[in-house]
Structure formats: structure tokens, C-alpha cells
A and B are shown apart, each in its own frame.
Chain A
Amino acid sequence: MSGEEDATVREPLDLIRLSLDERIYVKLRSDRELRGKLHAFDQHLNMILGDVEEVITTVEIDDETYEEIVRTIKRNIQFLFVRGDGVILVSPPLRAP
């Protein structure tokens, strides 16, 4: 079954392939970020992630002081399909996963 597997990294998707079964960081549109274990992906960057933490960041501007209040909402999902058209970037985790 696992006959010939080309281990050479030639194109960007090969780099992502190296991260299969590893934890990754995904930046999405609408100020969202995901950290989870990469189980599958395709050329559209559709992905299936496991043990995911989603962080949604919002910035409120106070009417009087005009200061920016940054808030984050976190959510955990065990098993998640992510549609590729929302993905901005994929990377190894920036901190300890």
C-alpha cells in the first residue's frame, strides 16, 4: 500500500505534507486562528484538524477614550473540517503547542 513515497520537497504543498500528524498553526480570515493536529489536507487547503483550539480576536474602540480593547474568544473542538478558502497561512506552532 505505501509503495513509493517521494520524500523530496519541491513545492509549497510538500512543506505542509511534512506537518501531517503534527501540530500546526493556521491563520484564517475574519481574525481567527487555529492550533491543532493536521490529519489531512488537499490542494485547496481544505483541512481536517484534531484537538483544535480556535481563537477569535475582536477589537473594540471605546467611544470616549478611543482606546482599542482587544478581546479573544477561545473554543475547543475535537475534530474539525476547515474549508480552504478561509485559510491565509499554515505554519508549525509559534509557541509550545
Chain B
Amino acid sequence: MLFFSYFKDLVGQEVTVELKNDLAIRGTLHSVDQYLNIKLENTRVVDQDKFPHMLSVRNCFIRGSVVRYVQLPPDGVDVDLLHDAARREARGA
């Protein structure tokens, strides 16, 4: 639940989602769900020459399980809040 809440707070910010197949997609975080499936808006592929598949795609739904990383805005979070939440979360979940 921790990261679900975190991503909900991040809706509206620009992120870069890197998939397990090495595709990286930059876009505005539109929504997220409990599985950490992600919907992005206004998307563009990071390395357009290497991955021409999605040139015309502007919005997408990404299955949570195919995500490797999400690059986050550095000012997009309060680290102390995260630390506290992680301390409470991990035990007995």
C-alpha cells in the first residue's frame, strides 16, 4: 500500500517509466492502481530512434509487472515521510 499511496500523491507529475524490455517512456502520471499499473499521458519514447514503435502514441496503460524502474522528480516527495512510512510498513505485512 505504501507505494500505491506514494504514486497517488505523484499524479500530475512528469515521470520516466523504464520497462523490463528496456523501453523508456516519459509522460505525465495520470493514474495508478493497487497493482502499480500506470496510466501515462502526453507520452513520448525516450530513445525514439531505437524504439520507433510508439511514435504516434500519446497516452498509454502500462501493466505494473513489466516495469523495471520509474524515474521520479527529485522534488516530488518528502523523504522523511517516506522513511516513517517504510518503518511502519515492512513489519508483518
Could you tell me which A residues sit within 8 Å of B by CB distance? 1-2, 5-6, 11, 13-14, 16-17, 20-21, 39-43, 46, 48, 50, 77-83, 85-86
On whether the beta carbons of B87 and A39 are closer than 8 Å, the reply is: no
Binary interface encoding of chain B residues 52-69 relative to chain A, with 1 for a CB under 8 A from any of its CBs, else 0: 000000000000110111
Q: With A6-B91, A40-B2 in contact, do A17 and B86 touch (Cβ < 8 Å)?
A: yes
| Beta-carbon nearest neighbor of B15 in chain A | A81
Which residues of B sit under 8 angstroms from A2, Cβ to Cβ?
Answer: 84
On whether the beta carbons of A80 and B70 are closer than 8 Å, the reply is: yes
CB within 8 Å: A-B pair count: 80
Could you tell me which B residues sit within 8 Å of A by CB distance? 1-3, 6, 20, 36, 64-65, 67-74, 76-77, 79, 82-87, 89-91, 93
CB distance from B32 to the nearest CB of A (A): 11
A43 to B91, CA, bound (A): 8
Which residues of A sit under 8 angstroms from B89, Cβ to Cβ?
Answer: 42-43
A86 to B57, CA, bound (A): 27
Which residues of A sit under 8 angstroms from B86, Cβ to Cβ?
Answer: 17, 20, 39-42
A43 to B20, CA, bound (A): 21
